[in-house]
């Protein structure tokens, strides 16, 4: 099985409870370390929805203010991180829709309905006994371990992800860049597990295609 | 060669459900049977994983950059925390 250890519950752990209690009694050191630990990730997630770094910084600021105000309302029905990022995503979405940078998430239906194969049908045999089997299989050329090339490939992938429809972009970034579990992403974005998987599947399929294209160009060069 | 129950074209659509542990036992078995005899599909799965590894690697590089919270924003938050929740 896959090694990413899909954790299906987002229950708060002991660490969470300690943190929440520390914040409730006014422990400033705990709050400072909360900021330092999550600021970057929050900024990246906010940037999925708003146009500029400045706007994203505003969203993160508003989120932390929301945490200060709302900490008494944290009901321990989710992990603290999920709770906090939920505030963040809601703020960022609202602001993004106001800016009209992104189509609202209401375009989600479109992202789920559209019939988009992971791989174009021309890559498979169309007739005979082996119809549906590869005729143009992915090649076994691999990236060397060298970091420079990996960074170049990373840029290409970042561009590919940026071009994804909003819900796919958000799901893949949360899962594969920020390391959120499937359950956390469902909770953050109000998605069913099935829809989360469809969006992830489409996003990963397209990202892989752009990596394959990059690898192909390197071989030709 | 015996025909596997799952074709490559179906395999590439099932791969996320397989990775996420969302296939029922029968489908998982068919999927894994295909994978056992089809090197190109193994290559496909490898590329999917390489994609994620490259992404994570790039994110790690980013994180080493100068991206701590802006000092003014951080100070303002701590100030607000003190004002609303402080014991003083
Ligand atoms: Zn195959």
Residue A199 lies in a domain: yes
Fold of B8-85: Arc Repressor Mutant, subunit A (1.10.10)
Residue at which a domain ends, from A46, A68, A99: A99
* Closest Cβ opposite residue A157 in set B7, B13, B55: B55
What's chain B's length in residues? 88
User: Cα(first)–Cα(last) distance of chain A, in Å?
Assistant: 36
Tokens 């409870």, residue located: A17
Minimal-distance CA residue of chain A relative to B1: A130
Q: Does A170 lie in the same domain as A136?
A: yes
Structural domain count of chain A: 2
Predicted ipTM of the assembly: 0.89
Among residues A144, A120, A145, A141, which one has the least CA distance to residue A216?
Answer: A141
Shared domain for A95 and A142, answered yes or no, is no
Give the domain CATH number at A177. Answer: 1.10.10.10
Same-domain check for residues A34 and A81: yes
With beta carbons under 8 A apart, name residues in chain B contacting A4: 19
A142 belongs to a structural domain: yes
Same domain for A120 and A80: no
Give yes or no for B55 touching A (CB within 8 A): yes
Nearest to B59 by CA among B67, B70, B47: B67
The pLDDT assigned to B67 comes to 64
Reported for A53-56, long-range contacts at CB under 8 A and 24+ positions apart, including other chains, are A55/A95, A55/A99, A56/A92
Segment A153-169 shows an average pLDDT of 91
Span from the CA of A158 to the centroid of ligand 1 (angstroms): 28
Question: Are A155 and A76 part of one and the same domain?
Answer: no
Cα A93 from Cα A188, distance rounded (Å)? 12
pLDDT at A6: 37
Judge whether A106 lies within some domain: no
Domain that holds residue A189: 115-220
Instruction: List the domain boundaries for chain B.
Output: 8-85
Mean per-residue pLDDT of chain A: 86
Q: Which residues pair with A124 in a beta bridge?
A: A134
Given A133, A150, A205, which is nearest B57 (Cβ)? A150
Asked if B43 lies within 8 A of A139 by C-beta distance, the reply is yes
Distance (Å) from CA B77 to ligand 1 centroid: 54
At B10, the pLDDT band (50, 70, 90 cuts) reads very high
* Structural domain includes residue A7: no
Q: Is residue A92 located within the same domain as residue A119?
A: no
Task: Say how far apart CA A66 and CA A74 lie, in whole Å.
Answer: 11
pTM of the model: 0.86
Q: Residues A95-116: what's their mean pLDDT? A: 71
pLDDT tens by residue, B15-58: 999 999 999 999 999 999 999 999 999 999 999 999 998 888 87
At CB < 8 A and 24+ separation, what contacts does A61-67 make? A61/B73, A61/B76, A61/B77, A62/A91, A63/A87, A63/A88, A63/A91, A64/A35, A64/B77, A65/B77, A65/B80, A66/A91, A67/A23, A67/A34
Q: A132 alpha carbon to ligand 1 midpoint, in Å? A: 9
């Amino acid at each position: 099985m896959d090694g990413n250890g899909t954790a299906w519950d987002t229950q708060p752990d002991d660490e969470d409870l300690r943190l929440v209690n520390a914040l409730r009694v006014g422990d400033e050191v705990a709050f400072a370390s909360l900021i330092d630990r999550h600021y970057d990730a929050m900024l990246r997630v906010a940037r999925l929805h708003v146009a500029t770094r400045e706007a994203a910084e505003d969203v993160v600021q508003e989120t932390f203010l929301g945490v200060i105000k709302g900490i008494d309302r944290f009901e321990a029905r989710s992990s603290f991180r999920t709770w906090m990022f939920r505030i963040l995503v809601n703020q960022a979405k609202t602001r993004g829709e106001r800016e009209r940078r992104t189509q609202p998430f209401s375009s989600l239906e479109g992202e789920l309905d559209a019939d988009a194969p992971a791989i174009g049908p021309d890559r498979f045999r169309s007739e005979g006994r082996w119809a549906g089997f590869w005729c143009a299989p992915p090649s076994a050329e691999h990236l060397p371990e060298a970091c420079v090339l990996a960074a170049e490939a990373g840029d290409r992938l970042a561009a590919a992800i940026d071009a994804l429809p909003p819900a796919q972009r958000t799901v893949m970034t949360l899962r594969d860049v920020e390391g959120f579990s499937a359950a956390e992403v469902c909770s953050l974005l109000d998605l069913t597990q099935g829809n989360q998987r469809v969006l992830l599947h489409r996003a990963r399929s397209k990202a892989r295609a752009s990596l394959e294209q990059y690898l192909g160009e390197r071989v030709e060069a | 060669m015996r025909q596997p129950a799952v074709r490559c074209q179906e395999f590439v659509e099932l791969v996320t459900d397989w990775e996420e542990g969302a296939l029922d036992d029968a489908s998982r078995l068919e999927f894994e049977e295909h994978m056992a005899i089809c090197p190109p599909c193994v290559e496909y799965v490898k590329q999917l994983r390489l994609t994620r590894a490259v992404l994570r690697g790039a994110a790690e590089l980013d994180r080493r950059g100068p991206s701590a919270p802006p000092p003014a924003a951080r100070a303002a938050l701590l100030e607000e925390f003190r004002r609303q929740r402080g014991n003083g």
